[in-house]
Structure 1
Amino acid sequence: MFSSTNKASVSGGEKSPSLGGLDVRPGGLLVQQRNSDMRSSSVSVSNIRVRVKYGSSYHDIYISSQASFGELKKKLAEPTGVHHLDQKLIFNNKERDSKAFLDVMRVKDGSKMVLLEDVASKERRYLEMCRISAVEKATNSLAKINFEVDKLEGEVTTIENKATRGGKVAEKDVVNLSEILMSKLILLDGIVADGELKQQRGKQVRRVQKYIETLDLLRLQSSKTSIIADKTRIQQQMNSISHMPKPMQKIMQVPQMPKKPLEQSESLVVSTKWETFE
């Protein structure tokens, strides 16, 4: 099959495992080299038929004699319904690595194998899929909340600027906006995240809390302004009545505002204690 020169090279003391485009495998087996330079070689690669038993069924797979066991597993995935990463191929009573080549392991046309399902591998792959799905869900939820809070930030800024310029801020608008922001905190609390996603969630929580505190201060300032305006209006009415004749004063007398509610309103202090989100 080979020239005498080539035979001498194989049996001699040369260190090179390569011989005319062939690899020398353990036991002296010669196989074709697997590299891009050999694609144009005139040496033809034949297909072989491998019979694989899975359960009570047999599957005949036609594949290149130089293919790997991993490639064979991929071909078996569709007929057996077993994912290629969850397969164990037993040949000559030994499990074969996916990276091993058929010809190197002396798989020939008509060779028989047994396919087993690797339950442990299947469980690991399922857990990994669940982890990836959870990360994607958390990422999408954070992105959605971030987008919604961006819009709410504009509303908070508008109300804050209006109050700074001395404009009247409707308490109803402040309360409604605070409730919406609180609902975002609840959604953030329900997101399970680790690592970088956990840090992003914490950043969003602090951001929303800051906006709620701003609205609480605006509502307090608005309440104080309203009380001062009521006091001023009553004082003006009393001054006006004091200049009237006494009979008219009794008729136009303005009832005194209860002191207790005013004292309670004046002593109102905002104390927001936030829950710490880990």
Structure 2
Amino acid sequence: MIKLRSMRFSRSSSKLGNGHKATPPIEKDCRSIGEIQWELRPGGMLVQKRKSNQSAGEGMITIIVSTMSQSQEISIEATSTFGELKMILSLVTSFEPREQRLLFKGKERDDDEYLHMVGVREKDKVLLLEDPAIKEKKLLGLRDQPINNPSRAISV
């Protein structure tokens, strides 16, 4: 088996034809900068990790969730999904996650979409609505249940 090496990557300073010596890498600067840290984004892209001024609450954002009658401030990690936000909102509101519809920038968002990928930032507003299909099923379900009214009871 023959191993071939590219001359492009194996040149030394003595093989440069123009008489100039190659500048050696400055290792002192590399050490002072530190080691580069990498992170894997939810989309699968490998990127250089950003440095943050916050140390304790890194990645936490506060968003304003509005319903028709009220609004609440929720603190959540920026890398969370809308499904995770629905789980938190189910603890705060009376709606279960399957009964919720979350709208951001005029579009309904799926449960598997990430907040930071869609563009949710600090103090952004998210609109919470009750799913009309679930609301209608609740109303129909209540209508079909028997009423405990003695005057309407049928005797046999």
TM-score, with structure 1 as normaliser: 0.30
SS at match of 2:114: coil
- Check if 1:21 corresponds to 2:34: no
User: Residue 96 of structure 2: which of 52, 72, 83 is its match?
Assistant: 83
Higher relative contact order (CA 8 A, sep 6+): 2
Q: Give the deviation of 1:45 after TM superposition.
A: 4.2
Q: 1:93/1:71 Cα in 2 relative to 1: closer, same or farther (>3 Å)?
A: same
SS at match of 1:77: helix
% identity of equivalent residues: 33
Deviations 1:121-156 (A, max 9, x none): 4566999xxxxxxxxxxxxxxxxxxxxxxxxxxxxx
SS at match of 2:127: strand
1:102 counterpart residue number? 115
Letter in 2 for 1:93: G
1:1-278 matched pairs, under 5 angstroms:
20-23=38-41, 45-121=58-134
Which is richer in helix?
Answer: 1
Gaps of 5+ in 2: 1-36, 50-56, 141-156
Q: Give the deviation of 1:74 after TM superposition.
A: 1.1
Distance in 2 between residues matched to 1:61 and 1:24, nearest whole Å: 22
Which is richer in strand?
Answer: 2
Gaps of 5+ in 1: 1-18, 33-43, 128-278
Q: Which runs of 4+ in 1 moved over 2 A?
A: 19-25, 121-127
Distance in 2 between residues matched to 1:31 and 1:67, nearest whole Å: 20
Mapped contact 1:53–1:115 kept (Cα < 8 A): yes
Who wins on radius of gyration, i.e. which is larger? Answer: 1
